[in-house]
């Protein structure tokens, strides 16, 4: 299908596969501002455009991206467009890299992470492997810092126009507007440089980028072809990480065999109802020392698994999987002194920044001092004020379907930041509204995979699978995952398209042939 609006792609991180077929198209115009002009867009004023050749470039991913790799010898045209929305007082940078040769006819927009809309430090982990594979690629800073160190919420000066007053234009830019403009600018520059538009356009995003992808599918279907968890504060008791690790290990042991085979994977979490309170008073090993499970740790673990509830018990959101390593980072992350006697919570600063700046509108608010009813007030305020702006819960994807889009998504079942059942709930609602939604939207659940995807069984061929679906009509039924199970044993699986699940049929559980999708 000849289209520049072909697909939307969301996942909670996957790595690009450079083994994609290339059509070997080269640049038709010089890499200079006079040859590649930005499009004229309603409501957009172009402040500047700079262009220059980048030869023999070496990309080194940020050290915090443990799953990234260095890429050498890249030759591309680097175009930076700075623009503003007149009256918004914003200044946004959109960056596009265009291969000097061997362009494969494809364009890829890239998402961000945390409070970062995009940019090279964050978006480079998906941009640069695709650039190497011949894609034209774009990213945007959304009008504020794109440094990875600011993704967690440390650099939030952009959030206010003055104390207590939200910078609504920049918040809209971050939420979705800048991504939409990035797509229009990036594709226009691609057409200008190669004298032909991209045949297929993709969006690649994980974490915040995953939210962005769902947002783009719901709000801008023609652009592309392709919780606050402060459970421990109420009692001001913060158990040691080793206790939460031992609780998770006990939950794993209790629920591992629910799918008949004990393989270090909780494959059927919907049947796992392990209660941490059953451990209270029993012994566990903490760094070579004997310790006893405490009621406070059990209560915190149960609360994290069950998800937040209001003071009167109403459901607010989903909890985390019982195999999620929340003691590493997330709702149960604590840090202790050298003796392990005095522990304190390690805050999830992304969530804290949202609560302080955008909901309470008080950068100095002491969140630890809030009571349960005050958290309930923040929850209601957040939903009322921001659901229509940043929410991605609209299950009506008819416009996306009509545009010919394909949405491929996967979520790690051990994600300790974004509860996997939120994605499951959304998928269920899409399928309820359109029982044939699998024709254009497919979601996969990756066992053991956490938010960083450096742990567990994470898909490695997702972009290739999406390209096959978009360009050849071969819809993915399974995704190949590789990695280590909870016990550190190497495994390979073919994970099933939701709502199908893996069923053990016999043989070595480390091999994909031992399972079937049912």
Residues recognised as catalytic: 207, 415, 451
In eight-state DSSP terms, residue 135 is: -
Is the peptide bond prior to 499 cis by the omega test (within 30 degrees of 0)?
Answer: yes
- Closest listed residue to residue 495, CA positions, set 485, 481, 506: 481
Q: What are the distances in angstroms from CA 476 to CA 365, 389, 440, 500, 505?
A: 47, 32, 11, 13, 21
d(CA 373, CA 379): 10
Contacting residues for 198 by C-beta, under 8 A, at least 6 apart:
4, 105, 106, 107, 136, 187, 190, 191
Distances (CA, A) of 323 to 191, 265, 414, 419: 47, 8, 6, 12
Full 3-state SS string of 27-47 = CCCCCCCCCCCCCCCCCCEEE
Contact 216, 208 (CB under 8 A): no
State how far the Cα of 350 lies from the Cα of 3, in Å rounded to an integer. Answer: 37
Residue 437 CB neighbours (<10 A): 21
Residue 74 CA neighbour count, 13 Å, CB half: 24
Signed CA dihedral, 318, 323, 327, 330: sign only: negative
Provide the token pair at 269: 């979490």
Task: Decide if 311 contacts 372 (C-beta within 8 A).
Answer: yes
What DSSP assignment string belongs to 366-406?
-GGG--HHHHHHHHHHHHHHHHHHH-------HHHHHTT--
| CA gap 509, 493 in Å, rounded | 9
- ∠ CA 70-73-77, nearest 5°, is 110
Angle at 319 between CA 313 and CA 324, to 5 degrees: 150
């Amino acid at each position: 299908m000849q289209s520049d609006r072909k697909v939307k792609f969301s996942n909670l991180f996957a790595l690009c596969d450079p083994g994609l077929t290339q059509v070997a198209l080269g640049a038709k115009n010089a890499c200079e501002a006079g040859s590649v002009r930005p499009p004229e867009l309603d409501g957009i004023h172009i402040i500047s455009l700079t262009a220059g050749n980048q030869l023999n470039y070496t990309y080194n991913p940020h050290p915090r991206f443990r799953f990234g790799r260095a890429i050498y010898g890249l030759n591309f045209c680097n175009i930076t467009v700075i623009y503003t929305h007149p009256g918004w007082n914003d200044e946004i940078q959109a960056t596009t890299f265009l291969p000097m040769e061997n362009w494969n006819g494809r364009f890829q927009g890239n998402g961000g992470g945390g409070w970062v809309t995009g940019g090279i430090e964050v978006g480079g982990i998906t941009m640069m492997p695709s650039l190497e594979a011949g894609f034209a690629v774009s990213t945007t800073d959304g009008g504020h810092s794109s440094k990875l160190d600011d993704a967690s919420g440390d650099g939030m000066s952009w959030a206010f126009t003055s104390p207590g007053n939200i910078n609504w234009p920049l918040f809209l830019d971050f939420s979705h507007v800048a991504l939409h403009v990035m797509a229009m600018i990036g594709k226009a520059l691609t057409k200008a440089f190669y004298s032909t538009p991209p045949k297929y356009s993709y969006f690649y995003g994980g974490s915040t980028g995953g939210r962005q992808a769902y947002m783009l599918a719901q709000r801008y279907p023609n652009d592309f072809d392709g919780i606050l968890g402060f459970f421990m504060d109420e009692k001001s008791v913060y158990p040691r990480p080793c206790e939460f690790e031992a609780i998770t290990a006990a939950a794993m042991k209790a629920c591992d065999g629910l799918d008949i085979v004990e393989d270090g994977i909780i494959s059927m979490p919907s049947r796992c109802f392990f209660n941490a309170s059953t451990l209270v008073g029993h012994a566990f090993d903490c760094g070579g020392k004997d310790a006893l499970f405490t009621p406070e740790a059990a209560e915190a673990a149960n609360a994290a698994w069950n998800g937040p509830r209001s003071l009167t018990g109403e459901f607010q959101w989903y909890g985390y999987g019982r195999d999620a390593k929340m003691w590493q980072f997330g709702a149960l992350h604590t840090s202790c002194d050298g003796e392990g006697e005095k522990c304190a919570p390690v805050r999830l600063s992304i969530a804290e920044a949202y609560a302080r700046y955008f909901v309470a509108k008080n950068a100095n608010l002491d969140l630890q001092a809030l009571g349960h009813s005050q958290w309930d007030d923040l929850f209601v305020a957040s939903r009322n004020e921001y659901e229509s702006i940043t929410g991605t819960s609209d299950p009506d994807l008819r416009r996306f379907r009509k545009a010919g889009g394909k949405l491929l998504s996967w979520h790690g079942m051990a994600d300790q930041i974004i509860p996997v059942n939120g994605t499951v709930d959304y998928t269920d609602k899409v399928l309820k509204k359109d029982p044939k939604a699998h024709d254009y939207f497919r979601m996969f659940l990756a066992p053991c995979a956490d938010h960083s995807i450096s742990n567990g069984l994470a898909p490695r061929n997702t972009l290739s699978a999406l390209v096959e679906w978009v360009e050849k009509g071969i819809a993915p039924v399974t995704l190949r995952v590789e990695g280590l199970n909870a016990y550190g044993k190497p495994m390979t699986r073919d994970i099933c398209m939701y709502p199908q699940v893996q069923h053990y049929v016999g043989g070595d559980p480390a091999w994909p042939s031992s399972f079937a999708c049912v």
